[in-house]
Amino acid sequence: MMKLPHFLSKKATCNSHGQDSSYFLGWQEYEKNPYHETKNPSGIIQMGLAENQLSFDLLESWLEKNPDASSLKRNGESIFRELALFQDYNGLPAFKNAMVDFLAEIRGNKVHFDTRNLVLTAGATSANETLMFCLANPGEAFLLPTPYYPGFDRDLKWRTGVEIVPIHCSSHNGFEITESALKEAYTTAQKRNLKVKGVLITNPSNPLGKTISRAELNRLVTFVEAKEIHLVSDEIYSGTVLESEDFTSVYEVLIERNLQNSSVWGRTHIVYSLSKDLGLPGFRVGAIYSNDEIVVSTATKMSSFGLISSQTQYLLSEMLSDKKFTSQYLTENQKRLKNRHGLLVEGLQNAGIDCLKSNAGLFCWVDMRHLLSSKTFEGEMELWKKIMYQVGLNISPGASCHCSEPGWFRLCFANMSEDTLHLAMDRLKSFVESMNNDKRPVRSSRRRSLTRWVSKLSSSYKTESER
């Protein structure tokens, strides 16, 4: 088909979506040759996808015990017509009530939420973009601590025209958000003639896999208060922590500082989704919580471009209203996450690889700097390709997360079976051992054996990917 780009919009022909990032390219390579225990045992194992598949059985068990919810019935009577005709973009009242209660439960009921300040969106992607439309004009900027979720280049910038200015964080202090880093990012934006409208954080952090400390949150609140700018806290992983007490919401800090009647209270906004904590990304359930009436009103109007289906809202309102279930789910899910996290860390240690100390999320931030052929991002890409094609693991390079130090990678652990995780760690250990052997003088017979092993593995992947 003939392509006529001059007949299309600039948006259709620009290359600012971020789809060419190694983060997304890794997914594409995985899809060409996906691992399967029996059908494709030499395929690529997906460790670049932050999905929680550890607690599906708990959700399925609840559905079996509550058939009316999925059958669109109330007290045994069909409400199909009622739901099929519902199209109010304010959302089902029952679902909004259940959501604010669930948000409070995750936070140990230290923070309470009002349904009037809650806006429903089709996932956190939509929530973050909607907030950008509400808070900033094209060409204005938000500051983001690095490393950050690669999808933000799409979610925050692509359609809104908002710029991202990185807050460069360093491994020497565990990638802590420091006052000097905040000031440096703000100055950088000014030098680029960009008006800074706010700071956006993920808490717990993606990709670091750790919660933001109270000290950092206080530092952020003080900064945005002084600069009179917004603070957006993406708390999509707030229930995905290894211990309940690990997570502190930004609103908890505001309340502790008695800032409920201050201007910063209205300039602090939370983004949430059920994609991670309940493992329901396909349901496309997200939310914005804001104390600014204009933001809530505008975001609600904009939500008409991406509504949550009424049957999804009804089903989840029934599930989240079951307090016994939500309490048991959060407790058991944390237990399973902690166990799986421990298996990954142990597997990495057995392979001679360390990772950042973490307490949340579906991934670990892994230090492979000692495996780089050169301490550059070119060296990082070279290592990433070897791990992809020779080892058969799709992991996310630090460069895709805008990390300022080459050699860090994000590895996910909750989207696969325990056996698959063990296999992934065995593959990685063999690869590291082979690299270590290459660095030492070895007899020619051993070298030939190693070469044959790598060649055979690479050939296997190539053959599978061509099917």
Q: Which residues are catalytic?
A: 149, 234, 236, 276
d(CA 428, CA 325): 38
Cis peptide before 67 (omega within 30 of 0): no
Angle (deg, nearest 10), helices 310-320 and 323-350: 90
Distance of CA 123 to the CA centre of its chain: 12
- CA-nearest of 203, 188, 180, 209 to 268 is 203
- What letter does residue 138 receive in the DSSP assignment? T
> What contacts 266, CB < 8 A, 6 or more positions away?
290, 291, 292
Q: Considering only CA atoms, which of 117, 131, 152 is closest in space to residue 21?
A: 152
Candidates 124, 344, 106; CA nearest to 246 is 106
- Phi/psi region, residue 409 (left: phi>0; alpha: psi -120 to 50; beta: rest), is beta
How far apart CA 132 and CA 265 sit, in angstroms, is: 18
DSSP string, 345-397: HHHHHHTT-EE----BSSEEEEE-GGG-SSSSHHHHHHHHHHIIIII-EE-EE
Tokens of 376: 């550059």
User: Whole-angstrom Cα distance, residue 68 to residue 409?
Assistant: 44
Of 147, 223, 136, nearest to 187 by C-alpha is 223
Q: How far apart are CA 232 and CA 221, in angstroms?
A: 11
Q: State how far the Cα of 300 lies from the Cα of 230, in Å rounded to an integer.
A: 19
